[in-house]
């Protein structure tokens, strides 16, 4: 695992609290499942009809019929339940998912999210993300701060098609943690290896810096 991913996932797992029902999106968020401490009672929800996802199976013990929404083989934990797709989305739309951690392609300073397609590239469909970002009680997006060309993915406005408008509560990148509030986008934390000035240089979006972080970093 790259150092960037390691930083993001290590920080993201701290968002998960004891007793939560949590939906982990396809891609990098699925790696969080194996990082949840055993001391926490957490039920992982998959929109294809499973509540109570366990760790990835060991090689040779995979069950091809037991998969998550990303078509990866998984295990179940004690107390897990299975249901149809309609029931799964009723849970989402009914506000029964406490936390959703999803990947992102772009996030805007208003908390808009683009994560389901790149125009001109083949996609299987929009999936369940559009429902999840509207129905989950808290939406956390995890992604690299810049793309492979060095351009900021934290933008003043998203250029890619939106998954949801003003739906992001918290953004975690390999550089920083931002919250989206009534007063705009706020930088809350700096991840190891970065600083406020580096974050500013790599962020197209406008944001303010949390006062406690200013004092900690010695910034004016």
d(CA 49, CA 72): 14
Q: Taking a C-beta distance cutoff of 8 angstroms, is the pair 209, 178 a contact? A: no
- Indicate which residues carry an active-site annotation: 47
d(CA 58, CA 72): 13
E-assigned strand segments in the chain: 21-24, 43-46, 50-53, 76-82, 99-103, 106-108, 113-114, 139-142, 154-155, 170-172, 176-181, 184-190, 208-209
């Amino acid at each position: 695992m790259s150092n960037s991913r390691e930083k993001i996932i290590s920080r993201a797992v701290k968002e998960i609290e004891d007793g939560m029902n949590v939906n982990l999106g396809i891609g990098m968020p699925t790696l969080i499942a194996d990082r949840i401490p055993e001391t926490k009672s957490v039920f992982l929800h998959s929109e294809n009809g499973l509540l109570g996802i366990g760790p990835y199976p060991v090689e040779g013990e995979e069950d091809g019929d037991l998969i998550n929404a990303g078509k990866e083989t998984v295990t179940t934990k004690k107390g897990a339940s299975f249901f149809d797709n309609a029931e799964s989305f009723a849970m989402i739309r009914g506000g029964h998912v406490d936390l959703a951690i999803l990947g992102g392609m772009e996030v805007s300073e208003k908390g808009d999210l683009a994560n389901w397609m790149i125009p001109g590239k083949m996609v299987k469909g929009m999936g369940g993300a559009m429902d999840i970002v509207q129905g989950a009680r808290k939406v956390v997006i995890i992604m690299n701060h810049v793309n492979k060309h060095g351009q900021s993915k934290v933008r003043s406005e998203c250029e890619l098609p939106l998954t949801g408008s003003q739906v992001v509560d918290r953004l975690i990148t390999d550089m920083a943690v931002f919250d989206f509030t009534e007063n705009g986008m706020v930088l809350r934390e700096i991840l190891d290896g970065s600083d406020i000035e580096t974050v500013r240089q790599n962020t197209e979006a406008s944001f303010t810096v949390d006062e406690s972080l200013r004092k900690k970093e010695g910034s004016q």
